[in-house]
């Protein structure tokens, strides 16, 4: 895949959206006037980006079974090893807090069933108390399913994979429109969850980017339309103007798709190449994008523990809460970036040399 730097910037922004939403959850939901309560839409951003990146990078492998093993190895290396490392790090912290500190502040209790379900990224039903050890990792189960379906498209002839994906989409719409429903979470809440459409949105805009040049000159217009729709979606999420079970698919999913598509077209039209001159701010956000997986996986626990420490210290009566929360967010981002540099990056480089 070409060096479309804007995609990395978007990955960094999506991770910071999610981190900021969890900061409001743990510290004060009035932080930044409550605007970042909708930062959880960063997950929708990630899903569309994942669909775009996978299709853009591997569209040439579709219908070519010989490419499957390399594709699967790349996906495995990208998701599981560092996730397992961070999961065991979380387990160590949880038990340390429980055994050595105040048991009341331990995030949750663990058993072997929790651990095994978390390690294999078994789908978790968030409407119940069920969650993986690293809470934000629930979304990775959907990533794994999308990677598997895309792998199927690589393995079999395009006409057959298109038929299967069409049936899948039809079933998703049946659940979305409440034509079909079942109490089985794996079926209606996971396999046919409307959120899966966001991966397909990403694939569609990647295909348009590669094959349909008619809209290339409208990148600015498409980005502005997406940004305006995102504002409307964000306001709706904050004030519940329209309340519908899976409305994020047609609000955040579409708005982020338009933003990504328009921004990629703008970058293409500037004649992007690997030697393009980037501003310092862009380089910082590209680095956040590189570190986005570590930010996404690490941030939950330190934010939680910092919020406990802050509330016990009663520092909000001495220092403005905005300043305290912002400093805590910056500390967690810095911690995540250091972990990316010294753990994730080194780990991935070693695995790629051995397995690819």
pLDDT tens-place string over residues 215-254: 899 999 999 999 999 999 999 999 988 776 568 999 999 9
Domain count, the chain: 1
Q: What is the mean pLDDT of the chain?
A: 90
Neighbours of 91 (CB within 10 A): 16
pLDDT exceeding 90 applies to what percent of the chain?
Answer: 71
pTM for the model: 0.94
**Phi and psi dihedrals of 207, rounded to 5?**
-65, -40
Nearest to 161 by CA among 60, 63, 51: 63
Of the listed ranges 76-85, 109-118, 257-266, the one predicted with least confidence: 109-118
Parent domain of 139 = 5-355
1 has a pLDDT exceeding 50:
no
Query: How much is the pLDDT for 107?
Result: 58
pLDDT band for position 343 (50/70/90)?
very high
Three-class SS of residue 42? helix
At 91 the three-state DSSP class reads helix
Query: Closest Cα to residue 7, out of 272, 354, 234?
Result: 272
CA distance 346 to 244: 44
Position 289 confidence tier, pLDDT thresholds 50, 70, 90: very high
- Could you report the per-residue pLDDT of 142-192, keeping only the tens digit for each? 999 999 999 999 999 999 999 999 999 999 988 888 787 788 899 989 999
Work out the pLDDT band at 104, boundaries 50, 70, 90: low
Q: Pick the more confident residue, 325 or 242.
A: 325
Residue 105 confidence (pLDDT): 58
End-to-end CA distance of the chain: 17
Rounded CA-CA distance 138/123 in Å is 7
Mapped onto helix, strand or coil, the DSSP state of residue 185 is: helix
Is 90 exceeded by the pLDDT of residue 316?
no
User: Which tokens in the block code for residue 99?
Assistant: 């055994």
Report yes or no: 201 and 253 within 8 Å, Cβ to Cβ: yes
> Is 330 within 8 Å of 299 (Cβ atoms)?
no
CA-wise closest residue to 45 among 229, 193, 198, 235: 198
Rg (CA), the chain: 21
pLDDT reported for residue 2: 47
């Amino acid at each position: 895949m070409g060096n479309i730097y804007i995609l990395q910037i978007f990955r960094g922004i999506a991770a910071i959206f999610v981190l900021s939403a969890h900061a409001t959850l743990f510290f004060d939901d009035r932080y930044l006037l409550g605007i970042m309560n909708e930062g959880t839409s960063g997950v929708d951003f990630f899903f569309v980006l994942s669909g775009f990146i996978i299709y853009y990078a591997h569209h040439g492998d579709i219908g070519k079974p010989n490419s499957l093993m390399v594709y699967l190895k790349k996906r495995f290396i990208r998701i599981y090893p560092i996730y397992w490392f961070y999961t065991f790090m979380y387990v160590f912290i949880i038990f340390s807090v429980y055994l050595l500190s105040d048991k009341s502040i331990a995030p949750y209790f663990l058993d072997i069933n929790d651990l095994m379900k978390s390690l294999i990224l078994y789908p978790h039903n968030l409407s119940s108390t069920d969650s993986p050890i690293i809470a934000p990792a629930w979304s990775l189960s959907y990533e794994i399913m999308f990677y598997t379906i895309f792998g199927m498209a690589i393995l079999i002839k395009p006409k057959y994979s298109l038929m299967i994906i069409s049936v899948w989409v039809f079933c998703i719409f049946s659940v979305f429109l409440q034509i079909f429903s079942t109490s089985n979470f794996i079926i209606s809440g996971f396999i046919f969850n409307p959120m899966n459409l966001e991966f397909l949105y990403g694939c569609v805009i990647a295909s348009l980017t590669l094959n349909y040049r008619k809209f290339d000159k409208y990148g600015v217009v498409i980005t502005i339309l997406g940004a305006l729709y995102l504002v409307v979606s964000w306001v709706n999420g904050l004030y519940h103007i329209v309340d519908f079970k899976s409305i994020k698919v047609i609000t955040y999913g579409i708005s982020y798709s338009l933003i990504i598509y328009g921004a990629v077209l703008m970058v293409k039209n500037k004649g992007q190449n690997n030697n393009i001159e980037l501003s310092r701010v862009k380089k910082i956000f590209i680095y956040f994008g590189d570190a986005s997986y570590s930010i996404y996986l690490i941030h939950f626990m330190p934010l939680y523990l910092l919020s406990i420490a802050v509330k016990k210290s009663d520092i909000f009566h001495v220092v403005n809460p905005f300043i305290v929360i912002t400093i805590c967010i910056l500390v967690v981002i810095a911690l995540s970036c250091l972990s990316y540099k010294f753990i994730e990056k080194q780990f991935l480089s070693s695995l790629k040399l051995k397995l690819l």
